[in-house]
Structure 1
Amino acid sequence: MALAVSRLTARPDSLALHSRRLPNTPEMDGGARKRSSSSGREDLQSPDAQLSKRLASTPGARDDQLPAIVSWCQTALPNRLLTCNLGLLHRAPAPPASFYGSSRVSSRHEETHAKRWAQVLKTLKVVGTPHSPRQSTLMLFKKQELAFEYQRTCSNPVHVFSFETDISNPGKRKFLATTYPHFWEHYLTLDQRHYYEVIKEGMPCKLYFDLEFMTQDNPNLDHERVMATFIQLLLDELLNKFGIRCRPEHIVDLSSTTTSKFSRHIIVNLPGAVFQDNGHVGRFVSYLISRIHEYSQGNGETSVKFAELIVKHPSSGRAVFIDESVYSKNRNFRIIYSSKIGKSSPLLRADKPALDQRIENETFKFFKESLVCAVEYDDDLRLLSFGESPVLRFPGPLSGRSNDAAQTTSSQPSPFPQIDEYVLRSIQSRNPRACFRSATYFPESKSLVYAIGNDRFCFNIGRQHKSNGVYYVASLNNGTFTQR
């Protein structure tokens, strides 16, 4: 359906923006639906009785109603932390005989599915009670993909964490999907913490590092001198490559160093900028490593200083002390006040004595600053990219133009393919050669940012830009997308 095009000029900066209304899609409301008002009698029933009645009344419910059931459970059962086996709701389509009117087969099919819905009640388990009276959104999953699937159905900005529970199998983890405030409340109540932040593929993130070496193999290294050299190089290269004046106070430095191993996590809160995803971060880190090798050549004082950053590893010989494996897809990155299971060295602030640090005295603000994925979109935010990205295409042709299919820098265009397609078709209606260079989703503000390729036309000035790129921002909150 053709939608009207309007230009919005009522902005403080007087910029005229090209704006269109997005189509209504299941993604627009995150799958969340409000529970209709019910009688006073139902409100007085116990939560379990309400849930039983709700499930029993929908024996033929479709799989796509799962988000509604999850949302209803959260509304009907306040102040509870719930976990649900979502796999029980997956079912095969109705057999052909039921379509052609065989009541016996249809009844059997519905009876089977009704039993599956009944099992959902048995898999809902209370796993805790939050401190605040706010509605809980902590959901526990055995598999990462199920946590991601639940995340896509949520209207609130939900993030995924993982944690270890089995000391005999340290690599085995469970996954928790929740908002940052709810996670922080839950985190404060724990006696043992072995938690990791899941850096989801294709999502915007901060610049981060995992620095490590074995002290017994490098006994003469001054830890603080090595860190000072690295931080100065980092600040210089951020200014050189991106024009960003970063200061030491923008850097969160966490340490879990022991007598046998130097270990630091660095998270950089760049002023007014984030990276498009951790793939771009990894390419920038590879560039930094090449610069360290370059500066370490020679006989001067500078080369000696940078040579200290190239340490001895027991398995790989000599290498820069930056771990490059932490930039893989859906990486689990340990968070502040957590240790690896079976270890007694949690990540703590490097700028304070360990004995003076208690999580009860920490602020939620600093906790978010220490997270890699805690980024929020605003109109002045820069999306940083570095190096060449692998070019992948959207699955299938759009509007019959298979050669003009959109391009993106991640394996998935965004979590909302229907919105991607609509925005691209709208742009291609004016310029068929236009494509997406990248699609970045900001869950905190529910905004999609599209970098456009093969098109620099600006509706503000009424002509093509000579050098500046063009971006479109789709807001899932108000259902519009605008050019910026």
Structure 2
Amino acid sequence: MNKGDWENRLKKVEKLAQSFQQCPLTSCYKPRLSRPWQPSSIWKLFPRQCMAINFAQSCREDVHVFALEKEQAKMGQRIFLVTSYSELWHYYSTYRQSLMHCYEVIPEGAVCKLYFDLEFHRPSNKGFDGKCMVASLIQYVCEKLEEVYGIECSGKDVLNLDSSTEEKFSRHLIFILPNAAFKDNLHVGQFINLILQPVLSVHRRGSELENDVGGVTEDSGKRGLIGSPQAKRPRQEERDLSFLLVKNKDGQDGLFVDLGVYTKNRNFRLYKSSKVGKNAAFTVAEDNKFITKPKRNVSAEESLFQSSLISNVSFTGQKILTWDLHDERDGICPKPHAQLGSTSHCVSDSLGGYQCSPHKEVDNFVLSVVKRDGIQGSIRRWNYFVSEQLLVYDILKYRWCQNVDRFHKSNNIMILVDLKEEVWYQKCHDPACKSFRSSSYPLPQDICVSYLITMDEEDQAYLMDDVGNIELSQTLPAEKYLGGSAATLPQGEDRDPWGDEPDDQAYLEALEDVERSTGDLAEDDVPDELLLQTMTEFESLKDVCLSATKC
């Protein structure tokens, strides 16, 4: 090898060294929670929401999915984190720079709390009192909950979070109802749409009138309804909810309540998080009346955080609330069942007369279980508690109870499937068997999520280092997740920067010359004492550098 070739290779190595100093390889994240009551540590990052949801469902640990936004990422681009509630809080309260734009992913079909996203544009709604509007809405919703479900609640049961700015009034309301929750957030949306029908009707008529006349002025009536004979009677009935009608920044009619946040796998911004590029994080509102009751080994702040999580609902003692559109009769919705594990079924997307759960393979297995002595049971209703990965099936036409070893005469049974432990067991609606729980039986392997979904450690697209930096994993090609291409290398750049092509003969000969010239130095092994001393000095130097970086 001539001198020119050697210099070119030396420059290439120096260039690589410089690039890795600027963008160092991140160390594999290893959570280190020292508290013994905490769950096993899981912390995995994914580029796609479906990948994160699939992995979370395959874990036996109590984990959930969250969405993260990064400052440098494209607008709207998110990565997805799978971890436990307690571990997220541990690092969420530590690495605020990396975890300051977080969203809870509300899983499809999961039992959840009643929640609202409220906002209006301040300059377009001068004179509007946001606090009074929030208080009026809470009072109205509490009245409806008592009227329909018999649930008594007040402002003390509502966590009121505020992220308002001078330009926009913004609130999140989370109802922590006493031993009650909704079947899923689609049912929450149906309930809210129906109780807001009076003001929605006004909003629709106002929009239609505005379109017909080419716009309205304040002189023709606020909301564009005064002067319309057809609107006189509805206006009298809807007068109490008129405070929910607001103007957007373009001056068009809108609603104080955002009705677009009740969709499958919805991303809902967390307490203490802001939108990317914004500084307004959700904090406890001044007019909040909810007071958290911390559990053992949980701080008041962490307890408040866990209360704010929409799908953090336990199975024990919960009444499941539903309100389906097809249940309406003459504009009045009858009281739905509000008992443990109860929901109403839907004729759409049905299998055997009931709406399929998110795990259709498990549905089919349960149908095979409720069959005995010529009697084939069916699934009347189901509920999914994502916080415990528990599917609860209410069974119809099949009353075999293992506790009494016979069929009950009138009361039905429940089949509970624990997706985390991959087992199923039976409980009973009969008062005499209220506290009974059968033995646990393993689920067939072919329906276990852990069998259907396998994830290797190297499949993780993102890593988080010990100081909270989240970077794309170096073990996977970036173009696979970022939409790039390996063909987009700058002109003149070697496709193989490490020089892994076969070495030429001149290069091998040069290496042999170097080895021969240093052969005398390599005859003896390096003493162990010297190695230990070198490693100690290296570790000390690394700690000093790390401390300087944090400062």
Fold agreement, TM-score > 0.5: yes
Tell me the residue number matched to 1:152: 57
The letter of the residue matching 1:204 is: V
Q: Deviations over 1:321-350 (max 9, x none)?
A: 111111111110000000000001001111
Cα displacement (A) at 1:285: 1.0
Question: 2 CA distance for matches of 1:125 and 1:390?
Answer: 51
Q: Take 1:260 and 1:214, find their aligned partners in 2: how far apart are those partners?
A: 6
Do the aligned residues in 1 keep the contact of 2:245 with 2:256 (CA within 8 Å)?
yes
Contact 1:289 / 1:320 at 8 angstroms: preserved in 2?
no
Return the match for 1:438 from 375, 381, 386: 381
- C-alpha spacing 1:408/1:303, structure 2 compared with 1 (3 Å): closer
Contact persistence 2:371–2:398 (CA under 8 A): no
User: Which consecutive residues of structure 1, in runs of 5 or more, have no partner in the other structure?
Assistant: 1-122, 354-359, 395-404
CA–CA separation in structure 2 for the residues paired with 1:341 and 1:276: 31
- Among candidates 60, 74, 79, match of residue 174 of structure 1: 79
Contact 2:384 2:390 survives alignment (8 Å): yes
Kindly report the root-mean-square deviation, in angstroms, between the aligned alpha carbons of the 2 structures.
Answer: 3.2
1:290-309 alignment, distance < 5 Å: 290-293=197-200, 304-309=239-244
Q: Report whether the alignment pairs 1:245 with 2:152.
A: yes
- Residue pair 1:167, 1:342 contacting (<8 A) in 2 also: no
- Runs of 5+ in structure 2 lacking a partner? 1-24, 204-231, 289-297, 327-345, 430-551
Larger Rg: 2
CA distance in 2, matches of 1:456, 1:282: 33
**Matched ranges for 1:177-326 at <5 A:** 177-192=82-97, 193-293=100-200, 304-314=239-249, 317-326=252-261
Q: If the length of structure 2 is used for normalisation, what is the TM-score?
A: 0.55
Equivalent position of 1:11 in the other structure = none
Q: 1:128 to 1:291 in 2, by over 3 A?
A: farther
Counterpart among 366, 369, 373 of residue 426 in structure 1: 369
Cα deviation code 1:55-103 (max 9, x no counterpart): xxxxxxxxxxxxxxxxxxxxxxxxxxxxxxxxxxxxxxxxxxxxxxxxx
Q: Is the 8 A contact 2:370 2:398 kept in 1?
A: no
Q: Secondary structure at the match of 1:126?
A: coil
The secondary structure found in structure 1 opposite 2:67 is strand
Q: Which residue pairs with 2:348 in the alignment? A: 391
Amino acid at match of 2:149: F
- Classify 1:316/1:437 alpha carbon distance in 2 versus 1 (closer, same or farther; 3 Å): farther
Identity of counterpart residues, as a percentage?
A: 30
Confirm or deny: 8 A CA contact 2:349 2:355 kept in the other structure: yes
What is the aligned partner in structure 2 of residue 109 from structure 1?
A: none
Amino acid at match of 1:442: F
1:89-168 aligned at under 5 Å gives the runs 126-127=28-29, 129-132=31-34, 135-167=40-72
CA contact (8 A) 1:295 1:306 kept: no
Match of 2:393 among 437, 450, 454: 450
Q: Which whole-Å deviations, capped at 9, do the CAs of 1:112-144 have from their partners, x for residues lacking one?
A: xxxxxxxxxxx9952464453664211111111
Equivalent residues in 2 for 1:58-69, closer than 5 Å = none
Q: Distance in 1 between matches of 2:47 and 2:67?
A: 10
In the alignment, the residues of structure 2 paired with residue 330 and residue 166 of structure 1 have an alpha-carbon distance, to the nearest angstrom, of 23
Q: Which letter maps to 1:408? A: Q
d(CA) in 1 for partners of 2:239, 2:392: 44
Q: Specify the code of the residue in structure 2 equivalent to 1:188.
A: S
2:313 matched residue in structure 1:
375
Distance in 1, matches of 2:347 and 2:268, equals 24
- For residue 249 of structure 1, report the CA deviation from its aligned partner: 1.6
Residue by residue over 1:132-159, the C-alpha shift from the partner in whole angstroms, topping out at 9 and shown as x without a partner, is 3664211111111111121122111210
Structure 2: how far apart are the matches of 1:298 and 1:216? Answer: 31
Query: Which residue of structure 2 lines up, in the alignment, with residue 365 of structure 1?
Result: 303
* Count of matched residue positions in the alignment of Structure 1 and Structure 2: 337
TM-score (norm 1): 0.63
Contact between 2:111 and 2:385, CA under 8 Å: does it hold in 1? Answer: yes
SS of residue matched to 1:232: helix
Amino acid corresponding to residue 85 of structure 2 in structure 1: Y
- The question of whether the paired residues in 1 share the 8 Å contact of 2:125 and 2:247 is answered with yes
CA distance in 2, matches of 1:457, 1:318: 54
Whether the 8 Å CA contact 1:142–1:175 is kept in 2: the answer is yes
Output the CA distance in 2 between the equivalents of 1:235 and 1:456.
37
2:190 counterpart letter in structure 1: R
